[in-house]
């Protein structure tokens, strides 16, 4: 995961992303890359160093010039890890329907809060929208029907 973070930081720069895209099309020397990007050779050199440090780019000496190419395997590893993260997210289940519960803050103004902690930890207990929670579900999950943080004014029925 640490390598993924480092690699993503390296390609998060617009110039480096353009450089990577150019190098995917063909190998280039630093001078040619600088000319195409419209920046100095020194700037290209710095960007290439960052990309080389994370293993995305490889430099190969060809006569006097060094030509750079993308390490496709490393790029494939990054995309594979992102795909695995997407799959985990898709398999994680449904999202909490109580994302923005309304409450009054200490100033008396309406404040949007994120989902209450217990219902996120026990989504099987509160499956519907806040208005669909039964008083029994609310009481089991939160312990207090009158101060239910997700649904607002739900009251226990007799």
Name 130's Cβ contacts closer than 8 Å, sequence gap at least 6.
97, 98, 101, 148, 150, 151, 152, 154
- 107 in Cβ contact with 78 (< 8 Å): no
Q: Looking at residue 134, what is its pLDDT? A: 72
- Terminal alpha carbon distance of the chain: 53
Model-level pTM?
A: 0.57
Q: What percent of the chain has pLDDT over 70?
A: 58
Residues 119, 141 share a domain: yes
Question: Which residue among 64, 90, 116 closes a domain?
Answer: 90
> What is the total count of domains within the chain?
2
pLDDT per residue as tens digits for the range 47-80? 999 999 999 999 999 889 999 999 999 999 999 9
pLDDT for the residue 3: 86
Whether 40 and 115 map to the same domain: the answer is no
Q: Report, as an integer, the average pLDDT of 3-10.
A: 91
For tokens 């780019």, name the residue: 57
Angle subtended at Cα 41 by Cα 37 and Cα 45, rounded to the nearest 5 degrees = 100
Q: What is the DSSP letter of 100?
A: T
pLDDT at residue 158 greater than cutoff 50: no
Domain that residue 155 falls in:
96-158
Query: What's the rounded mean pLDDT across residues 150-157?
Result: 47
């Amino acid at each position: 995961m640490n390598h993924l973070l480092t690699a993503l930081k390296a390609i998060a720069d617009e110039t480096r992303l353009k450089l990577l895209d150019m190098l995917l099309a063909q190998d280039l020397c630093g001078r040619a890359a600088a000319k195409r990007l419209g920046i100095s050779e020194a700037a290209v050199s710095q960007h290439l160093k960052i990309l080389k440090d994370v293993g995305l780019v490889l430099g190969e000496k060809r006569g006097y010039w060094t030509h750079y190419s993308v390490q496709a395997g490393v790029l494939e590893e990054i995309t594979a890890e992102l795909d695995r993260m997407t799959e985990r997210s898709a398999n994680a289940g449904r999202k909490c329907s109580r994302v923005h519960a309304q409450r009054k803050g200490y100033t008396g103004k309406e404040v949007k809060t994120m989902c209450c902690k217990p219902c996120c930890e026990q989504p099987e207990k509160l499956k519907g929208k806040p208005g669909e929670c039964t008083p029994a579900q609310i009481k089991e999950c939160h312990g207090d029907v009158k101060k239910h943080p997700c649904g607002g004014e739900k009251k226990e029925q007799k």
